[in-house]
Amino acid sequence: MIKIKIMYSLKVFYTKNDINLSFDLRKNKFFHNVDNLDVLRFLKGTFTNKQRFISRFTDEFRNGPLKHDPEEYKGLNDMIELFESEYDNVEPFTYEEAFKISNQEFQSQVFGSIDITDMIKELGHERIKTAGKAVKHKQFSPSGEFLGFKEYDNVYEVHEVSGKKLGLDEKLYALKCWCTSTNEEHWLWIEDQFKDDPLEAVASTFRIHENLISEIKEIKRQGDVLLVEMKEGSEKLKPEGEMVPLNADQYFSLLTAQS
């Protein structure tokens, strides 16, 4: 789905196929310090052949904003033409390259295109800490009707991952999150300061401006994507201060749904 929304500058949002990108029409870039061809490398890792890339990505722009007003979105059109002409000339990011990406938002997108389970298995890992947590989450029907709460038993494991194959001397740390009732699992990279407490580790993956924490009503999570519902009346608040992680008590008391 393509969305056009005016914020501080005009941006076109692509939110589809588990990808969340915004193209700044003033700067003609997706990220302020990331080259567009690096974005193409990420997209090639996601759409692994050109036909799929065109039908699922560039055609979405052609049939949306470019069809609406080609002159207004000339920069967007130039980006599409660049991507299609250079698709065969770029390679997806390797594991080692992904770890060296300095832009955290872009790095998160790139890791989302890499099968982290296979990556961690290939690098070599060892479980060092485990913690369990009973959680109650909202259930909804396919039409969006609220069906009540269901209790799940979640298990969080911190794994120490070898960095040798990435050319790194230090250890890396990943959190394996899995549900005992569904046996589904999800991996998240964490900072080493959280390696000794799995519950604090999963909470640390959610970060928000410090002055907004007390105004959060609920958090809903889908993998690496976190949606925040704020309390009534908080829409006039402006984000201030540093982006800080939630602690475990804050995170689990606010989390009402995840998949």
Angle between helices 36-46 and 104-112 in degrees, nearest 10 = 20
Contact predicate 133/154, CB 8 Å: yes
Helix/strand/coil for 218:
strand
Query: pLDDT means per 10 residues in the chain (259 residues)?
Result: 46 84 89 94 94 94 82 88 96 90 88 86 95 90 87 94 88 92 86 96 93 91 81 85 92 89
Domain ranges of the chain: 2-112, 116-258
Rounded CA-CA distance 113/16 in Å is: 13
pLDDT given for residue 250 in this prediction: 96
pLDDT given for residue 6 in this prediction: 38
Give the position of tokens 């008391």: 253
Give the position of tokens 């060892």: 126
Neighbours of 61 (CB within 10 A): 20
pLDDT given for residue 198 in this prediction: 97
